[in-house]
Structure 1
Amino acid sequence: MPTHVRIALDPALAPWRPEVTWTWRTLLTGMGYAWVEEPWGSSDVDLAYATDPAQAPTARLVIVARPEHWTNPVAQLLAGIVRSPTWEHLRFQGELAEALQVTRHHGTALIERDIIFDAFWLLTGQEERQHPRGKHGYSDLSGSPGVEQGLLRKALASGVGTSLERELVACGLAPGMRRWPVGKTMAAACGHDVDYPEVVRWLEPLRILARQGRRGLKPALDVALGRRTHWHFASWMALEQRFQSRSAFYFVARQGSLFEYARGLPDTFYDVNAPRFRLLLRELAAEGWEIGLHASYLAYTSAEKFGAERAALAVASNTPVVGNRHHYWHLDPADPEATLLMHEQVGLTYDASLTHDRYLGWRRGTTWPFYPWHSGLRRPVRTLQVPTGWMDDHLFGHHVNNPGGRQALLGGLADRVADQEGCLLVDVHDYVYDDALFPDWAATYARLWETLFSRGDVWFATPAELAAHWVARAKTLEQASSGLSASWPVMTI
């Protein structure tokens, strides 16, 4: 049976109860605790979330709530009333652990900073709303603490949960349910975006020369003559088998064209219903690799079209399609929550699209999977979000935004994930396997997987397996719990 945390919420937080309870559920699920919500007047609880600590029930741990932050996070942020409460505070602290300052008095631990609001602020992407967007809707985070201080790579929201779990254990509570199976400390998964498996032989040599200059003359000639290709599915499979792992291949089910690409619609050129691809899809699935959807560039504009893409790929591959990653990370730039809700509407188990195209790290500040919040409906979306921490191009095409040695940066990500017992999901494109065409791209991935494999405490899984485990674990914890519903419970005392 899971360990239960008895928690009491200050009734003064009633106006923001849906947001507060979702944040607590997200953190407690990540920590591995079932919960029992107790009335505010209870005599003894494990956790109290109080606007006034002097009025809180007797508790092992009291966290001070700041209603002025919950009132309107974005309006406060933009008006300068709160001024990025998480980023600004951590600009000077550097580490969330330093912000989690605990004082003790008569057997009660007290945290005076509203770290629950901090977690909400990060998990819901409040700071994203103030940043300008460029081509493809990508956020420009230039000068932000997330980039300048490397805070995206620290996963501060799951850091809140990790620190809370450790504090509860220090207060005498038993540890929560393990996050991963077979006693593993962390999970690792890879998804390959299948963008360009068949080269355009007159075009690709020009792209090679643009990337490599004179060094690319021979590889460009080899591609032009058909001696080198991008069709390396067997190579990826062989590489991953060395580490007893399987990955996902995300295929685009809408066929684009060079003409569309030139007009600004950059969908891929292949047809998943072509015999070559149908055979490939079924071979991959038969060998245990996941077939996922790489939703087309404008899939987010229509749930009907989005669902049709998923259905078409399922037919072509003859296997269920439960997961997705958007081509170009292209959620609705003006309203990402609308796209997250669409994942639920088309029946996806998980999505893996919440990351920044240019910046290494975790866009929503967590290494733990979670159910995203929809602010308009004031409820969580029912499609799990599995956070992506690294895309290959972060360290190549966008290395200016992510300075440092590649292995050191990836080692830092892995260490952060291990410390939080989270998951490291990476995105490596299908076409970068050939070292002559993309020097060190596949090798960087291979070295990372070799390092993780040598640890012995990493659970390698496909993203679908990872998501299925987390969904089942969350369901177990919720079924063992009571309270923390969106509406305020009837008080009995």
Structure 2
Amino acid sequence: MIPTVRIAIDPALAARRAEITYTWRTLLTGMGYSWYEEQWQAAPVTIAYTTDPAQAPPAQIVIHACAERWANPALARLRGHTIQRGYTLPLLEGDHEHVQPVVVHGSLHIGHDPIFAAFWLLSGYEEEQYPTLKHGYRDLTGSPMLTQGLLRRGMASAIGCWLAEILQQCGLPPGIPRWPNGAVLAATCGHDVDYPEVVRWLEPLRIVRRQGMRGLRAARDVITGRRHHWHFHSWIALEEQIGARSAFYFVARKGSLLEYATGRPDPFYDVQAPHFRALFRELSAAGWEIGLHASYLAYTDRRIFAAERERLAVASGQPIEGNRHHYWHLHPQQPEQTLLIHEQVGFHYDASLTHNRYLGWRRSSTWPFFPWHRRLRRAIRTLQLPTGWMDDHLFGQKQFNPGERDTLLGDLRETVSRQGGLLLVDVHDYVYDDTLFPGWAAIYRSLWEDLAARGRVWFATPAAIARHWSARASSIAENSHGLGEDEQM
């Protein structure tokens, strides 16, 4: 039985109803509650969301909506955070420091507007205030997200957790579980397959650049063929010991050194080669997922994207459910345009919304969610699995993530554990060799072993996690009334 939240939304917010109902559906789905939307002033409700608390219907909880912010979300700015019930919540410019709910005439009043804050984070308005760098990366230098460590706090999903605890304080039962089999969190890895085959004259130069003179012996071993990047079976063995399953994301477009040098850095392998076809059969038989690592410019043309997905499907002999972009390369100014292509091509999920430089959750959610498309004013139907950590964050991008590696990953683990979220990480296929990439695989192994030892973790492939979340979201929506998505089409 799915517990239900009865909700009423102030008609004065009608101009932004599509955005508001999207946010409520996203939060309530994450919280595990169905909803029943009442007409304004028609009946007592659990939650009244209103611009004028004095005119709200009888409600257990009254949330004060900020119409000015909804009118122009792009003007909002993050200035810091507050801690409520152990959750890190955002403070926007103009918010008061104290956001503790207060009881007024028997109703619990929330004076800030957490619903707007969640929308602002989930829909990408927060990141737009920062400069765009090469490959479409954002430069967050000096932002509260970095200076206060807020990327690692999942503030949008934290709002949902905070509201869920308030609902339970008001007498509602807990929402339905987020994960199966009594798990309190889900964990999975997507291995980006960038350089599975060593270019013997090129890779030694990369080793020396990373390691300096210490890397000369390793460089010689690569030249002689003693060391390589073909470590699929190594990852399988490591993850099988823990009881985990992951995905390998393959680039279906074969690049070249000339293209790489001229600004199109796609890998050089061919997924249709016999040894790759044999690998696909092995991975599938062992229970690992095969996904697409969309090429550098795939986002520019839906036809390119569809052709790459089809090429990998033919080579692997199976449907391709998920995607992650090479170089995280989405449309630099309008990422939602790329996310819409995922829907049009038919992907079940994507896992590309993260920051190349910075550890943490780009859209501030540890829960999977359906992204918002601003022009269409509706949710995109391809689920987003939020990626929290890429291996290079703690090695090549270390200067942007100061601190002890174990401590930084511990922050992610604790945030996901507290929020009952998803810990999705990106560890490249070629970094298994500890001589070529000292510590890279070891820290992943340590994190996964720690999670397994703690217990109540659902290790599954990204595709399995996406199928579970989508089915759960559909079940909640089918048992709900109002907040209708049909109003946005």
TM-score under structure 2 length normalisation: 0.96
Query: CA separation in 1, counterparts of 2:83 and 2:193?
Result: 41
Query: CA separation in 2, counterparts of 1:266 and 1:409?
Result: 30
Counterpart of 2:328 in structure 1 is 329
Query: CA separation in 2, counterparts of 1:295 and 1:472?
Result: 26
Structure 2 CA distance for partners of 1:215 and 1:99, relative to 1, 3 Å: farther
Counterpart of 2:363 in structure 1 is 364
Fraction of identical pairs, as percent: 63
Query: CA separation in 2, counterparts of 1:397 and 1:154?
Result: 23
- 1:90 pairs with 2:81: yes
Alpha-carbon distance, 1:486 to partner = 4.9
Alpha-carbon distance, 1:99 to partner = 6.0
Query: CA separation in 1, counterparts of 2:98 and 2:196?
Result: 47
Q: Does structure 2 conserve the Cα–Cα contact (< 8 Å) formed by 1:17 and 1:486?
A: no
Query: CA separation in 2, counterparts of 1:12 and 1:143?
Result: 37
Q: Does structure 1 conserve the Cα–Cα contact (< 8 Å) formed by 2:347 and 2:382?
A: yes
After superposition, what is the alpha-carbon deviation per residue over 1:244-302, rounded to whole angstroms, capped at 9, x for unaligned?
Answer: 11100000000001111011100010000000111101110111000000000000111
Alpha-carbon distance, 1:321 to partner = 0.4
Q: Does structure 2 conserve the Cα–Cα contact (< 8 Å) formed by 1:41 and 1:57?
A: yes
Alpha-carbon distance, 1:488 to partner = 7.1
- 1:202 pairs with 2:201: yes
What amino acid sits opposite 1:358 in the alignment? Answer: R
Q: Does structure 2 conserve the Cα–Cα contact (< 8 Å) formed by 1:30 and 1:161?
A: yes
Q: Does structure 2 conserve the Cα–Cα contact (< 8 Å) formed by 1:193 and 1:429?
A: yes
Alpha-carbon distance, 1:169 to partner = 0.2
Query: CA separation in 2, counterparts of 1:2 and 1:91?
Result: 31
Q: Does structure 2 conserve the Cα–Cα contact (< 8 Å) formed by 1:100 and 1:163?
A: no
What amino acid sits opposite 1:314 in the alignment? Answer: A
Secondary structure of 2:360's aligned partner: coil
Counterpart of 1:405 in structure 2 is 404
Query: CA separation in 2, counterparts of 1:217 and 1:361?
Result: 34
Structure 2 CA distance for partners of 1:486 and 1:479, relative to 1, 3 Å: closer
Query: CA separation in 1, counterparts of 2:397 and 2:283?
Result: 31
What pairs with 1:94-133 in structure 2 (closer than 5 Å)? 95-96=88-89, 100-133=99-132
Secondary structure of 1:291's aligned partner: strand
Query: CA separation in 2, counterparts of 1:438 and 1:462?
Result: 25
After superposition, what is the alpha-carbon deviation per residue over 1:22-58, rounded to whole angstroms, capped at 9, x for unaligned?
Answer: 0000000000000000011133111110111111111
Counterpart of 1:81 in structure 2 is none
> What is the RMSD of the two structures over their aligned residues, measured on CA atoms?
1.5
Counterpart of 2:484 in structure 1 is 485
Query: CA separation in 2, counterparts of 1:480 and 1:293?
Result: 34
Counterpart of 1:30 in structure 2 is 30
TM-score under structure 1 length normalisation: 0.95
Query: CA separation in 1, counterparts of 2:43 and 2:83?
Result: 38
Secondary structure of 1:181's aligned partner: coil
Q: Does structure 1 conserve the Cα–Cα contact (< 8 Å) formed by 2:80 and 2:148?
A: no
Q: Which runs of 5+ in 2 are unaligned?
A: 91-96
Secondary structure of 1:449's aligned partner: helix
Alpha-carbon distance, 1:72 to partner = 1.2
What amino acid sits opposite 2:17 in the alignment? Answer: R
Counterpart of 2:7 in structure 1 is 7
What pairs with 1:373-384 in structure 2 (closer than 5 Å)? 373-384=372-383
Counterpart of 2:277 in structure 1 is 278
Counterpart of 2:93 in structure 1 is none
Q: Does structure 2 conserve the Cα–Cα contact (< 8 Å) formed by 1:17 and 1:487?
A: no
Counterpart of 2:312 in structure 1 is 313
Counterpart of 2:191 in structure 1 is 192
Counterpart of 2:349 in structure 1 is 350
What amino acid sits opposite 1:28 in the alignment? Answer: L
What amino acid sits opposite 1:363 in the alignment? Answer: R
After superposition, what is the alpha-carbon deviation per residue over 1:281-334, rounded to whole angstroms, capped at 9, x for unaligned?
Answer: 111011100000000000011111101100110110111100000000000112
Alpha-carbon distance, 1:13 to partner = 0.4
Query: CA separation in 2, counterparts of 1:201 and 1:442?
Result: 22
Q: What count of residue pairs does the alignment treat as equivalent?
A: 480
Counterpart of 1:221 in structure 2 is 220
Secondary structure of 2:181's aligned partner: helix
Query: CA separation in 1, counterparts of 2:264 and 2:213?
Result: 30
Q: Does structure 2 conserve the Cα–Cα contact (< 8 Å) formed by 1:18 and 1:487?
A: no
What amino acid sits opposite 1:96 in the alignment? Answer: L
After superposition, what is the alpha-carbon deviation per residue over 1:91-118, rounded to whole angstroms, capped at 9, x for unaligned?
Answer: 8999318864211134311100000000
Structure 2 CA distance for partners of 1:159 and 1:113, relative to 1, 3 Å: same
- 1:303 pairs with 2:302: yes
Secondary structure of 1:49's aligned partner: strand
Relative to structure 2, which stretch is displaced further, 93-102 or 368-377? 93-102
Query: CA separation in 2, counterparts of 1:64 and 1:237?
Result: 51
Secondary structure of 2:141's aligned partner: coil
What amino acid sits opposite 2:179 in the alignment? Answer: W
After superposition, what is the alpha-carbon deviation per residue over 1:420-477, rounded to whole angstroms, capped at 9, x for unaligned?
Answer: 0000000000000000000000000000000000011111010000000000000000
Query: CA separation in 1, counterparts of 2:83 and 2:282?
Result: 52
Secondary structure of 2:260's aligned partner: helix
Secondary structure of 1:256's aligned partner: coil
Q: Does structure 2 conserve the Cα–Cα contact (< 8 Å) formed by 1:294 and 1:326?
A: yes
Counterpart of 1:43 in structure 2 is 43
Counterpart of 2:461 in structure 1 is 462
Q: Does structure 2 conserve the Cα–Cα contact (< 8 Å) formed by 1:369 and 1:385?
A: yes
What pairs with 1:175-190 in structure 2 (closer than 5 Å)? 175-190=174-189
Query: CA separation in 2, counterparts of 1:89 and 1:211?
Result: 36
Structure 2 CA distance for partners of 1:154 and 1:474, relative to 1, 3 Å: same
What amino acid sits opposite 2:391 in the alignment? Answer: D
Alpha-carbon distance, 1:90 to partner = 2.1
Q: Does structure 2 conserve the Cα–Cα contact (< 8 Å) formed by 1:247 and 1:290?
A: yes
Query: CA separation in 1, counterparts of 2:317 and 2:43?
Result: 58
Q: Does structure 1 conserve the Cα–Cα contact (< 8 Å) formed by 2:367 and 2:422?
A: yes
Query: CA separation in 2, counterparts of 1:59 and 1:104?
Result: 11
Relative to structure 2, which stretch is displaced further, 100-109 or 144-153? 100-109
Q: Does structure 2 conserve the Cα–Cα contact (< 8 Å) formed by 1:360 and 1:394?
A: yes
Query: CA separation in 1, counterparts of 2:360 and 2:242?
Result: 24
Q: Does structure 2 conserve the Cα–Cα contact (< 8 Å) formed by 1:361 and 1:413?
A: yes
Counterpart of 2:68 in structure 1 is 68
Query: CA separation in 1, counterparts of 2:256 and 2:98?
Result: 51
Q: Does structure 2 conserve the Cα–Cα contact (< 8 Å) formed by 1:102 and 1:111?
A: yes
